[in-house]
Structure 1
Amino acid sequence: MSVLRVVLADDQAMIRSGLRALLAAEPDIDVVAEAGDGATALAAVRTHRPDVVVMDIRMPVMDGIAATRAIAAEPALSDVKVLILTTYDEDALVFEAIRAGAAGFLLKDAEPAELIRGVRVTAAGEALLAPAAARKLIGAFAATPALSGPPSLQLEVLTEREREIVTLAGRGMSNVDIARHLVISPATARTHVSRAMIKIGARDRAQLVVFAYETGLVRPGDAA
């Protein structure tokens, strides 16, 4: 059984303690380090090379967005996934964090089972944008004038099939969902998703979702 290595980053020791107790109880999860600020979190990631960083947004010294951006910028840390923990009043920051390279986010009041699942899903490379309200949030911010979409040239690098795949991924579909919708195998869907990510320079699936909104392939309110 492979074990997922996790770094916890939150400026509140009590929250870190609770998260550690929750995750450490799982046989396939190992909390390798904790950090109370973004700079310490970045140092811990460089040292331990975890699979997932559970990252708070608001922290001293360096906030979670800056730390996420720094992690995403280092080629040696390309396999590290960042799962953002947020509250309802940090909606705008959530979108900024995903643009910075976060693989997804969870609300701090999520059920324990959601956090555990979130770590596993994030490590597996799936975008954690659930619940549906989260996808709606992404769409709303992507539709604002300040976030105008990239030029159509970026869409031209994708084949017609890849655009279709990106559209479905942007609507929140998993590879299995996409495979069922298009009547193809999950492996084929996964291959198309991976190729599309490489072509547009998306670090992970969450950024693929943002790309789908920014380019107009998906619009706020579109249903999966």
Structure 2
Amino acid sequence: MEKELKLIIVDDHTLFRQSLSRLLAVTLEMVSIKEASNGKELMDMIDEQSPDIILLDLEMPEMDGLETSHILLNHAKYKDIKIIILTMHENEEFMLELIEKGVYGYLFKDADIEEVLKAIRIVDNGQYYISQRTFNALRKRLIKSTKFQNYLDQDTEKLTPREEEILTLICKEYTNREVAKELGLSVRTIDGHRNRILKKTGMKNTAGLVKFALRSGFYSMD
């Protein structure tokens, strides 16, 4: 039996929150959606029942998204909750900090519903969702920053041609299932390749691979 997907939308703008909730309710199957107007209200909710995914605004009264995400990402009891930031902030420092700390996605509020649905499905599948706008902003930030120079000082020559092909598709936001379909391979085979890429590059997750690819010059959005 298919498991119900439990979502919580956290935003202090009632109209936006309710509109998104209703759109998702009619487009997603087997979904339970709750709403909270700030981080404090959210924390009270998840202490009663833990969601699968939280769509989290950054700027809210009482407890904002940054404080809330810090709590969620730094306590073991919330480790299975996946966070997607949903905001108007196109602040490169915010993006980099939150993705580095472990949020699963970063969306802008002017995204269309199809992109929101895509992000939810990818994140529910255990993958990271990085939109093209986020990708571009991260690339600019990494080029300017010295913080990640040693962290991303890797050599892509150690990757096999197949691994380079897979890394390119990952950078194009493909899930493991989509990569497998594109290359005519099994999902298990792609999982094995992805794990080897992570090991070779020293990265921990998809967000790390994206940063590696951008910083090393392996991949460009230009």
Structure 1 and Structure 2 fold alike (TM over 0.5): yes
Amino acid paired to 2:46: V
Which residue pairs with 1:78 in the alignment?
79
Q: How does 1:11-160 map to 2 (within 5 A)?
A: 11-25=12-26, 26-31=28-33, 33-87=34-88, 89-130=90-131, 132-151=132-151, 160=159
Structure 1 residues 163-172 or 42-51, which shifts more?
163-172
Structure ID, larger Rg: 2
Residue 122 of structure 2 aligns to a residue whose secondary structure is helix
Deviation, 1:121, is 1.7
- Aligned partners of 2:195 and 2:42: how far apart in 1? 28
Residue 106 of structure 1 aligns to a residue whose secondary structure is strand
- Aligned partners of 2:190 and 2:111: how far apart in 1? 30
- Aligned partners of 1:50 and 1:78: how far apart in 2? 11
Identity of aligned residues (%): 23
RMSD: 3.3
Which residue pairs with 1:3 in the alignment?
4
- Aligned partners of 1:151 and 1:129: how far apart in 2? 20
Residue 54 of structure 1 aligns to a residue whose secondary structure is strand
Deviation, 1:151, is 4.2
Is residue 38–residue 62 contact of structure 1 (8 Å, CA) maintained in 2? yes
Distance change in 2, residues 1:53/1:211 (3 Å): farther
- Aligned partners of 1:17 and 1:81: how far apart in 2? 21
Distance change in 2, residues 1:6/1:128 (3 Å): same
Aligned residues: 215
- Aligned partners of 1:150 and 1:138: how far apart in 2? 17
- Structure with more contact order per residue of length (Cα contacts < 8 Å, sep ≥ 6): 1
Is residue 159–residue 197 contact of structure 2 (8 Å, CA) maintained in 1? no
Deviation, 1:82, is 0.7
Q: Deviations over 1:89-141 (max 9, x none)?
A: 444422222122111122212222322232222111222212x3332222222
Distance change in 2, residues 1:208/1:110 (3 Å): same
Amino acid paired to 1:19: L
Deviation, 1:64, is 1.5
Q: Deviations over 1:130-163 (max 9, x none)?
A: 2x3332222222222253234479x69xx84597
Residue 21 of structure 1 aligns to a residue whose secondary structure is helix
Distance change in 2, residues 1:75/1:35 (3 Å): same
Structure 1 residues 2-11 or 176-185, which shifts more?
176-185
Is residue 69–residue 101 contact of structure 1 (8 Å, CA) maintained in 2? no
- Aligned partners of 1:92 and 1:13: how far apart in 2? 27
Distance change in 2, residues 1:27/1:72 (3 Å): same
- Aligned partners of 2:69 and 2:212: how far apart in 1? 18
Amino acid paired to 2:60: M
- Aligned partners of 2:117 and 2:152: how far apart in 1? 39
Distance change in 2, residues 1:61/1:218 (3 Å): farther
Structure 2 runs not aligned, ≥5 long: none
- Aligned partners of 2:177 and 2:117: how far apart in 1? 21
Residue 85 of structure 1 aligns to a residue whose secondary structure is strand
